[in-house]
Homo-oligomer: A and B are copies of this chain.
Amino acid sequence: MLYLIGLGLSDEKDITVKGLEAVKKAERVYLEAYTSILMIEKEKLEEFYGRPIITATRETVELESDEILKDADKVDVCFLVVGDPLGATTHTDLILRASTRGIPTQTIHNASIMTALGSTGLQMYNFGQAVSLPFYTQTWTPDSWYDRLEENSKYGMHTLVLLDIKVREQSEENMARGRLIYEPPRFMNPYQAFSQMLLTESKRHQPEGTEDEDGNVIPVTPTYMNPENTLAMSLSRIGTSTQRIIAGTLKELASLDEEEFGGPLHSVVVVGKRIHPLELEFAGRWCVGGDEGQWWKVAKEVYGCERETFE
């Protein structure tokens, strides 16, 4: 049997009782280490599980899946994934490969950021499609995420923005020389995320009459993400004991220092217009600097949502 087991969001004790039982009796245990990152050391997991763990890199899973699936029709093999095991395509691919080899599989689900974002007080069923924000460089600022966000915004849905992580990156020099030396992992901070979001916003929404490089007038599109009129939130280390959420207008959030958000992992939420006063009330407790003034002003004037008496 091939078990795909979710590890949840934080530490070694977020595995389910069922998942732990499967790990303890498995012949081999792999830990997926490229689509997400657990915030504790592998050694700590090994100690808690009482089992050695083999790190599975993207290369292992995509090119050496035979190794992972070896004898899995006779013995139990566990494949551990941070969050829920079916959050990324790579793992459905592994199930398909097992299936064509006649190997039975069992998925043991767990929490992922997709459900844990309920911690914001925003309702899960009001979220549209999630988007991924990649690290921008001097020459590469891919902004297709903005189109998805506009689609959600058009119908008032909230948007979860997943922030890029870079694991097992090679420097250009090391890559050119064929050296398998990897840079330390990088995690996008909300500071950078908000700055990138404002950059794309300003590019997409030039003042009327602005011309592009060839002298053509850029069409003015409706502003879905005016920084002063858009409510947003940063979500840091959700599901851990140091979880931190900050709420405010995009402009307020973009003015905060990197340190305000603390260490990884982070994500960001852009609040949609179809919002309920209870959602605003809950989230308003985390306003920038503890000041809910701007939050409720924008809620009323832009989102059309007045504060209700809550007791």
Contacts and interface: CB of A to CB of B under 8 A. Distances in A.
Interface of A: 6, 8-9, 11-18, 20-21, 83-87, 89, 92-93, 95-96, 99-100, 107, 109-112, 114-116, 118-119, 121, 123-132, 151-152, 155, 157, 162, 239, 276, 278, 281-282, 285, 310-311
Nearest to A10: B18
Contacts of A152: 128
A132 B86 CA distance: 23
Contact of A84 (B116, B126, B281): B116
The complex is assembled from copies of this chain, and their number is 2
Given A17-B14, A115-B111, A128 B131 contact: no
A109 B111 contact: yes
Contact of A15 (B16, B92, B95, B123): B16
A172 to B, nearest CB: 30
Contacts of A131: 125
Nearest to A278: B89
9 contacts: A8-B109, A13-B18, A16-B111, A17-B17, A84-B111, A89-B123, A107-B239, A124-B130, A126-B129
Contacts of A11: 18
A14 B152 CA distance: 33
